[in-house]
Amino acid sequence: MTDNQVKIMKLSSGEEIVSELIAEDNPKSFGVRSPLKLLSIPRVESGGVEESVSLQRWIHFAEDKDVNIPKAQVLAMANASYGLSKFYEYCVLKLDHQGYSEDEYVEEEDWDEDEEILDELESPSKLFH
């Protein structure tokens, strides 16, 4: 996966999702793979309020990883930053490895703790092929 395939979409519902864009040639919908809902979590720290990022499954208990989103529901779309793209890849791998459980989201704090998945990200990518 190249980093510019990972997109952030702002939907008319107010949700923001991060996903791999796999098809945009359909006049009525965007094809996306493994969409994750982007959440910003404010935390009070000694230096003030900081925000951390969490990604969670957007559609729970679905069989398919690929989803079509009507273009009329997408208000804006942008390329994800390099850091968010890598975090997204990490989250997709982590959520795929753990299956469905009560813990269906990943926060930034988890990023440094999971060496097995980080090693998989650093090896030649097998994601979505």
Domain with 40, as residue range(s), is 3-122
Q: Is residue 71 part of a domain?
A: yes
pLDDT in tens, 41-85: 888 888 888 888 899 999 988 888 999 999 999 999 999 999 999
**Percent above pLDDT 90 for the chain:** 47
Which H helix or E strand runs over 7?
Answer: strand 6-11
Q: Is residue 128 part of a domain?
A: no
Q: What is the CATH number of the domain that holds 65?
A: 2.30.30.100
CA dist., res. 84 & res. 75, Å (int): 20
Q: Cβ–Cβ contacts within 10 Å for residue 125, how many? A: 12
pTM strictly above 0.75: no
